[in-house]
C-alpha cells in the first residue's frame, strides 16, 4: 500500500524523522512546519492520511484539525496526532476536534507505518 501522507510538525528533526520513516515504507511524504503551512500544502495535494503535532506556532494542531474537519474537501481524511503530550484531556480534545488517533513521541517507525495503514485502509 502506497500512501500520500501530509506530516505537520514545527520541529525540523521530527519532520526529517517522519520523512525517513514514510519514504522507507514507500509512502509519499509532504511536510509542513505548522497548521497554517499545512493548509497551504493541502491546497496542492490530496493526502490519504494526515499526521499533526499539537504544540506549534501560528496554528496549533487543534486549530489545524478543526480547520480540516470544517472543510468538505478534507473532512473524511484520517488524522493522527503525533505529540509528546499524553494527557487524557488533550486526547479527548483532539478526538472532539476530529482526530482519528494519537501516537506519543518518540515514535516507533514500524508502529507508525502500521497505524497509517490501518486508518487509511
Q: Domain 4-120 is of which CATH architecture?
A: 3-Layer(aba) Sandwich (3.40)
Residue 121: per-residue pLDDT: 78
Q: What is the CA radius of gyration of the chain?
A: 13
Domain map (residue ranges) of the chain: 4-120
Distance, CA of 42 to CA of 102 (rounded, Å): 21
Q: pLDDT tens for the chain, 121 residues: list them.
A: 789 999 999 999 999 999 999 999 999 999 999 999 999 999 999 999 999 999 999 999 999 999 999 999 999 999 999 999 889 999 999 999 999 999 999 999 999 999 999 999 7
Please name the residues in contact with 43: beta carbons below 8 A apart, sequence gap of 6 or more: none
Provide the whole-model pTM: 0.94
Distance, CA of 100 to CA of 43 (rounded, Å): 21
Amino acid at each position: 500500500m502506497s500512501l500520500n501522507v501530509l506530516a505537520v510538525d514545527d520541529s525540523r528533526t521530527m519532520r526529517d524523522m517522519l520523512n525517513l520513516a514514510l519514504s522507507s515504507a514507500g509512502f509519499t511524504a509532504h511536510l509542513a512546519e505548522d497548521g497554517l503551512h499545512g493548509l497551504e500544502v493541502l491546497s496542492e495535494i490530496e493526502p490519504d492520511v494526515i499526521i499533526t503535532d499539537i504544540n506549534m506556532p501560528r496554528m496549533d494542531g487543534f486549530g489545524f484539525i478543526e480547520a480540516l474537519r470544517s472543510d468538505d474537501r478534507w473532512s473524511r481524511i484520517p488524522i493522527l496526532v503525533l505529540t509528546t503530550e499524553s494527557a487524557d484531556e488533550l486526547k479527548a480534545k483532539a478526538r472532539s476536534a476530529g482526530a482519528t488517533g494519537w501516537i506519543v513521541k518518540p515514535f516507533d517507525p514500524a508502529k507508525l507505518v502500521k497505524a497509517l495503514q490501518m486508518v487509511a485502509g
